[in-house]
Amino acid sequence: MEWLVGRMQSLGFGSSFIDEAGNAVGVVGDGPKQVVLLGHIDMVAGEIGVRQVANPPNERLYGRGTVDAKGPLACFVDAAAKVGAREGWQFVVIGAVEEERDSKGARFAAGQYKPDFAIIGEPSQWDRIALGYKGSAWANITVKRGQVHTASGEQTASEAAVETWLRIRAYAESFNAEKRKTFDRLLLTLRGMESGSDDFEQWARLNVGVRLPVEVSPEAWYQSLNETAQGAIVEPIGFAIPAWACEKNTPLVRTFLKGIRSQGGEPRFVYKTGTADLNIVAPVWECPTVVYGPGDSALDHTPEEHILLAEYAKAVSVLSHVLCDLSEGMPE
């Protein structure tokens, strides 16, 4: 964190510091209009030795976080430094903490800024713009039964838990039946099951997660889960996060389309099945927002995580074009 703050200082940022949440923040310019570039600096566990592989024109940089998401964050830093201070504008680059956990850094930043435009740093490849991320919700579902003799033939707690899971899955399949796009579907996960008993009671617990579409709020999901569980105890866990889809017809999107074309690319839109800091800040900031960053998201969290340096360079050029375009007058 300290290294990043020092690096931003060395690149000419007007100020750089670590905020109260532990985020690394760099600011270029002091105008009344603001662009916030929110990346995240944390990463999943698993060390990958940092190394550069030279194979022109496909030089690659390996290392944990090169894709998710220090690559996009570094792109933000380099682009803001390249563009520099622009009259009437302020560019705020944030390396947020704990995105891979409970988004502590983004939750703090959401209350500190009110940007005119926001760009969230996640790998989407240099010529793609991500406009949506699914929501998520987790729950423990516990089934209890009285202790009975194994020869009684009565249903055990574990058997009842299996039936509960099958009902939940059937509900999701029914919901998804008419949904053509993955972004619009409920994506269920059974992450664990455990059971136990004492002298008088037996129990079985399911750990169930779901990726939510825009039309299903976490509250609506938990209500459906309680109805489908038919008396089992549903205990929400962690932070439930609603899905979010960005507006497509905005000045920010149009500047990205121009920026990508300026580098010889054919821009594309994508909607992701994961959840990101976009879901946290976009409902609060209520400004035009997109998700952008170099890197192939298929390499996220994998042992082969790496980024193509040529793609990184193009992403910096695209983002520089975007910041210049926004600060020189929004396109029609």
Residues 6+ apart with CB under 8 A from 145: 154, 155, 156, 157, 160, 201, 202, 203
SS3 327: helix
Q: Could you give the CA distance from residue 80 to residue 318 in angstroms, rounded to a whole number?
A: 12
Tokens of 228: 């489908």
- How many residues appear in the chain? 332
Q: Is 311 a catalytic residue?
A: no
Catalytic residue among 68, 78, 98, 99: 99
Answer whether 167's CB lies under 8 Å from 226's CB: no
* CA angle in degrees (0–180, nearest 5) for 301-65-192: 25
Catalytic residue among 42, 116, 127, 311: 42
Q: Is 99 a catalytic residue?
A: yes
Q: Could you give the CA distance from residue 66 to residue 219 in angstroms, rounded to a whole number?
A: 35
Answer whether 197's CB lies under 8 Å from 99's CB: no
Query: CA-CA distances (angstroms) from residue 44 to 120, 300, 303?
Result: 18, 9, 11
- The residues assigned a catalytic role are 42, 99
